A and B are shown apart, each in its own frame.
Chain A
Amino acid sequence: MTKPSPHLDDELLVALAFGEIDEPRRSEIDAHLDGCAECRREYVDLLDTLGTLAYAAPPAVPPADLRADIIDAARGSADAPTHAESAARRRLAWPVWFPRVALAGGLAALAVAVGLVVVTTSDATRSVALQGTSGTVLVSAHRAALAPSGFAPAPTGRTYEMWIIRRGVARPAGLFGSGTSFAAVTVPVDAGDVFAVTTEPAGGSLQPTSVPIARARI
């Protein structure tokens, strides 16, 4: 395996990951990364670790209408206010001391935050380790999600598909690709259900067509 040029050193990779390299040096480095799988892997690992750091920020709940404002702005509708404008209007309408009531999208979690004290009706989340391939199923009330960790890239033209099996019937519960950090299980779950993952043709199947490579009892 010939290498295009000497490898990028660690210090340069750090500067690059923090976005501190400007043109024209940046283009030279990009060209090197295109041709050198070893440096690319090192750089991607650095970026990935840095990205994970975002989760160390103190948790905060954005305003509920930020999502709609973003989608309106993306659609580019001429009459859509920018978020800054609607945020200003909201502040006029809602005194800041007013307790924020957050209703999580489609879920039964109702939390009323008064000051910094949060009162909630949501159940605790538990995690169940996968058998067969490493990963964790997170279960909260009747919702579940998979944090896959040991899944190799799916073969070309295939995808991973999740299933919830209850009384011998498998229901499709969502697809995920390799490298995904988190996949929501798209159907409700109950204690005693079996969660399974198979590989399926791209686009997914309505019934499993291969043997599960991972499973867990919820």
Chain B
Amino acid sequence: MTGIRTDRTAHAHASVVHLSDEALVAQIARGDDAALGALYDRFGRVVYALALRMLRDSQLAEEATQEVFLAVWRAAGEYRASLGSARTWVLTIAHRRAVDRVRHEHRRVSANEPLDEVAEHQLGDPAESAEDEAWVVFERERLTRALGQIPDAEREVIELAYFDGYTQSELADRLGLPLGTVKRRTFTGLRRLRTLLEADR
């Protein structure tokens, strides 16, 4: 019996790494900083990579990443499972933060703009650098395949809106298209992407 009790205690005190994303967010809402660390371990890299892609500056990407996880820390109690998974919630916060910076600091830069030297050293294939990034690589390959299969016109509006932070009306101006067309392309493209991603699971 003693052995079992010891096991149970160990189980109850086990680290939070085995928790679902949603359970981690619930723990964070209770002020558990170990849960925040575990959430960072799952999403820190993708949040940082997204910020670096959008801001093209390692310093700004670091600040944006820190803001995202502090926003998660403060707002965890407001997370509602009815509005999507915890992963989607974190990645939505990450995207909005980076978009805000792009729009308010007029840092809309092309993906071809050179990175600063620090960022150059941070870029690399996570599959090659860390075993725990297996999921990131898995997700990335699946996404790249799916993006390659949607019509160019749809991919273009999605990428410009998502990675470069253009609003739908800015896109209409830039592409010389009616606003309704831009919105429809974005919606249809995202639908198509979703179907492809689900089929590829």
Binding site for B on A (CB under 8 A): 10-11, 13-15, 18-20, 33, 40, 43-63, 66-67, 69-71, 73-75, 82-84, 87, 91, 96-97, 99-100, 102, 104-105, 107-109, 111, 113, 115-116, 118, 120, 122-123, 125, 127, 134, 136, 138, 140-141, 143, 145, 147, 149-150, 172-177, 179-184, 186, 204, 206
Chain A residues contacting B44 (CB-CB under 8 Å) are 62, 66-67
When the two chains form their complex, are residues B37 and A56 in contact, meaning their CB atoms are under 8 A apart? no
Most buried by B among A46, A69, A82, A204: A46
Beyond A59-B136, A66-B62, A127-B138, whether A44 also contacts B122 by CB under 8 A is no
Beyond A109-B129, A136-B138, A175-B20, whether A50 also contacts B70 by CB under 8 A is no
- B interface secondary structure, majority: helix
Query: B77-116 vs A: 1/0 string, CB under 8 Å?
Result: 0000111111110111011100100000000000000000
Number of residue pairs across A and B with beta carbons under 8 Å?
288
How far apart sit A67 and B11, CA to CA, in the bound complex (Å)? 25
When the two chains form their complex, are residues B62 and A62 in contact, meaning their CB atoms are under 8 A apart? yes
- A interface secondary structure, majority: mixed
In the complex, 26 of the A-B residue pairs with CB atoms within 8 angstroms, ordered by the A residue number, are A19-B99, A44-B88, A48-B194, A50-B95, A52-B139, A53-B158, A55-B139, A57-B52, A57-B53, A58-B123, A60-B45, A61-B130, A67-B37, A70-B65, A73-B66, A87-B62, A96-B118, A97-B117, A100-B122, A116-B123, A122-B131, A125-B137, A134-B201, A140-B132, A147-B138, A180-B87
